[in-house]
């Protein structure tokens, strides 16, 4: 703090002092002293408090309420998106709807499976790109295993995938992830998906269909795979299919990428923080103690509306704590669907038309890598 310094005049006698007093103009009043430091700080704090924070910017995300999306729910509940200035708004949607809504800008983001329909949409001009990975298949087990009717295994009729030739195998839909995984099981055997009779069937219907014998095998998602096995109607024939492979992604509207790139970068930072709260550093590995902490289970049950025990009994998806988009996985899925005739394009859609890696790259640069 600056202090005023008063300098006294040396006494020159009463006459001199009197003369000086008569000749001088009246003295100016002393300058007001500045307020104490703590008082000034209080005024500044009060002024700052009176300035409202900038409003949160809305981002709309298509939400199918699936387990692969739980890092997003965690980031919402822990305030990570709000810290990035984002008001994340959930819009109920199915995977089949996301391309149309992203292309028209009605949605900013969506959690998508990498399906034949995804490549078709991009080829036809859908204005959307992949900006981040979502679900990663586990290394030692899978949330999407190949299961077989228990009686076929116990009787010895089916001892391996080759014995499924000519049998009825349920997949979710043509060109969906389960069909791709079935193709990967058959690939080393010189078989294709055309060697079996594929049956399109919703995941929840698969355990009952295995129990009543209307299908011989299936590639069900969790928790329906575990349900079929625990009921005794099915046995896991191939537990780990395409381990460590990215099968679901976060897609963004091209309009949002062009007009609000900074907001998508902030979104990716918050999303990556949510992933790291759940996921250990190793890719394709999950830690039940970390994943199923009480605070996390409360969030999962709030958004997914399933009992805690169902969550604990399933084989969960994992996520990439470095947010790396697996370009090789995307292209392998596309080539597999092309070989099987599920996807009919003159040539594969190039990777640069499928991804926009900037948001993920930014988040990784901000938070650092966890894997060497």
* 257 and 355 Cβ atoms separated by less than 8 Å: no
pTM of the model: 0.85
Helices (H), the chain: 14-23, 37-50, 70-77, 80-83, 98-103, 116-123, 150-154, 177-186, 206-212, 224-230, 254-259, 261-278, 288-291, 294-304, 308-313, 327-339, 358-367
Helix axes 116-123, 327-339, angle to 10 degrees: 100
pLDDT score of 97: 80
With a CB cutoff of 8 Å and minimum separation 6, the contacts of 139 are 240, 243, 244, 283, 284, 285
pLDDT band at 183 (very low <50, low <70, confident <90, very high): very high
CA distance 251 to 356: 9
* 128 and 255 Cβ atoms separated by less than 8 Å: no
Spacing of C-alpha 147 from chain mean position: 28
Domains detected in the chain: 57-137+245-367 (3.40.190.10), 146-238 (3.40.190.10)
pLDDT band at 36 (very low <50, low <70, confident <90, very high): low
- Indicate the pairing of strand 217-218 with strand 168-171: parallel
Give the pLDDT confidence of 42-68 residue by residue, as tens digits.
Answer: 545 555 556 777 899 999 999 999 999
Q: Label residue 269 exposed, middle or buried (CB < 10 Å: 0-12, 13-18, 19+).
A: buried
Give the pLDDT confidence of 132-170 residue by residue, as tens digits.
Answer: 999 999 999 999 999 999 999 999 999 999 999 999 999
pLDDT score of 1: 34
Give the pLDDT confidence of 262-310 residue by residue, as tens digits.
Answer: 999 999 999 999 999 999 999 999 999 999 999 999 999 999 999 999 9
């Amino acid at each position: 703090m600056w202090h005023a310094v008063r300098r006294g005049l040396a006494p020159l006698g009463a006459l001199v002092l009197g003369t000086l007093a008569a000749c001088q103009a009246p003295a100016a009043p002393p300058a007001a002293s500045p307020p104490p430091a703590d008082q000034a700080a209080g005024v500044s704090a009060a002024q700052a408090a009176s300035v409202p924070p900038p409003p949160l910017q809305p981002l709309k995300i298509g939400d199918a309420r699936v387990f692969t999306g739980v890092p997003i729910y965690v980031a919402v509940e822990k305030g990570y998106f709000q810290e990035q200035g984002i008001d994340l708004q959930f819009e109920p949607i199915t995977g089949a709807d996301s391309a149309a809504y992203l292309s028209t800008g009605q949605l900013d983001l969506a959690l998508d499976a990498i399906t034949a329909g995804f490549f078709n949409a991009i080829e036809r001009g859908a204005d959307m790109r992949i900006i981040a990975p979502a679900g990663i298949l586990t290394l030692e087990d899978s949330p999407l295993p190949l299961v077989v009717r228990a009686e076929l295994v116990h009787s010895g009729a089916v001892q391996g995938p080759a014995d499924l030739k000519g049998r009825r195998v349920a997949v979710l839909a043509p060109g969906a992830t389960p069909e791709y995984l079935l193709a990967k099981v058959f690939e080393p055997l010189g078989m294709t998906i055309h060697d079996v009779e594929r049956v399109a069937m919703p995941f929840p219907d698969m355990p009952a269909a295995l129990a009543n014998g209307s299908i011989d095998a299936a590639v069900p998602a969790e928790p329906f795979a575990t349900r079929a096995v625990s009921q005794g109607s099915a046995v896991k024939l191939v537990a780990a299919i395409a381990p460590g492979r990215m099968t679901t992604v976060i897609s963004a509207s091209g309009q949002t990428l062009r007009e609000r790139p900074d907001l998508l970068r902030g979104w990716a930072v918050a999303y990556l923080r949510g992933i790291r709260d759940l996921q250990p550093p190793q890719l394709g590995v999950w830690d039940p103690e970390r994943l199923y902490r009480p605070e996390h289970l409360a969030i999962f049950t709030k958004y997914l509306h399933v009992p805690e025990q169902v969550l604990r009994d399933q084989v969960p998806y994992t996520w990439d704590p470095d947010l790396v988009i697996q370009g090789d996985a995307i292209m392998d899925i596309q080539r597999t669907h092309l070989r099987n005739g599920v996807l009919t394009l003159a040539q594969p859609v190039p990777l640069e038309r499928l991804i926009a890696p900037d948001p993920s790259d930014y988040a990784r640069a901000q938070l650092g890598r966890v894997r060497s």
